[in-house]
Structures are given as structure tokens and as C-alpha cells.
């Protein structure tokens, strides 16, 4: 199992950008499908993006397509979420997630399938 630590959250104006990072411990990071979820106050945790172990395949929820980009650097045991053109509705705690199951093209990562979660980082977008 990997341990995950997110960073990079903060307060930004609508239309701005942030880049989240998730540092993983453990030698098997490159074998994990990695993803990002978010949870707004009073709402359930929702899937945002996922990336295959090689970084060659990605999947996004519709609301962030064209604005967010997930990437990974297996040499640094880190996964990133570049967020652009942020909207107030993107305000949430963002969680990094690791899944030992292989990436499935066209399918989101399911929260019940996640093997490891980070502690979360707050993203607040002001209007």
C-alpha cells in the first residue's frame, strides 16, 4: 500500500489556475492507477480524473474536461492535477487516490475501489 500526501491547494479567483501535487511513498507507485477525487461541503466525494500506470491514458469527469489535466512522473512518485479556468463550483477538498486495479479506458475510478487515499487539500475558488 502507498501513502499519499497532497499539496498545492489554496484560494484562487475564478478563471485562475492551480496545480495540485500528490507525493507517494513506496516502491510500487508505478504499478498503480492514480486518480483525483473531490468533495464539496454537504456533497458526496466525486471522481475527477484518473491516469494509467504509464501515464498514457487518462479519463476525466465531464465537468472538468478541457480545463484539468492529470499527469504523473513515476521517477518522482508524484501525480499532478493542473487546473485551469477554475470556477466557484470547483471549490472542494481534493483527494489523491491509488488503485491497484488496471486503468479501464473510458471508465472512472470508483471510490469503493480505491486502495489508498491522501489526506486532502482544500481548493477554494472565489467569484
Rounded to the nearest integer, the mean pLDDT of the chain is: 95
Q: Are 53 and 103 in contact (CB under 8 A)?
A: yes
Q: Which residue has the cell 486518480?
A: 35
All cell numbers assigned to 24: 507517494
At 34, the pLDDT band (50, 70, 90 cuts) reads very high
Supply the pLDDT for residue 99. Answer: 94
The separation between CA 10 and the C-alpha centre of its own chain, rounded to angstroms, equals 15
At 82, the pLDDT band (50, 70, 90 cuts) reads very high
All cell numbers assigned to 3: 501513502
Beta bridge partners of 112: none
Least confident range of 38-42, 46-50, 82-86, 109-113: 109-113
Amino acid at each position: 500500500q502507498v501513502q499519499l500526501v497532497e499539496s498545492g491547494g489554496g484560494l484562487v479567483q475564478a478563471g485562475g489556475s492551480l496545480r495540485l501535487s500528490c507525493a507517494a511513498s513506496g516502491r510500487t507507485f508505478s504499478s498503480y492507477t492514480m486518480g483525483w477525487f473531490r468533495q464539496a461541503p454537504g456533497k458526496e466525494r466525486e471522481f475527477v480524473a484518473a491516469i494509467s500506470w504509464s501515464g498514457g491514458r487518462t479519463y476525466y469527469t465531464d465537468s472538468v474536461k478541457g480545463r484539468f489535466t492529470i499527469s504523473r512522473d513515476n521517477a518522482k512518485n508524484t501525480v499532478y492535477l493542473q487546473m485551469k479556468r477554475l470556477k466557484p463550483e470547483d471549490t472542494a477538498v481534493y483527494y489523491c487516490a491509488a488503485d491497484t486495479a488496471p486503468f479501464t479506458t473510458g471508465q472512472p475510478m470508483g471510490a469503493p475501489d480505491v486502495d489508498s487515499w491522501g489526506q486532502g487539500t482544500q481548493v477554494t475558488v472565489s467569484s
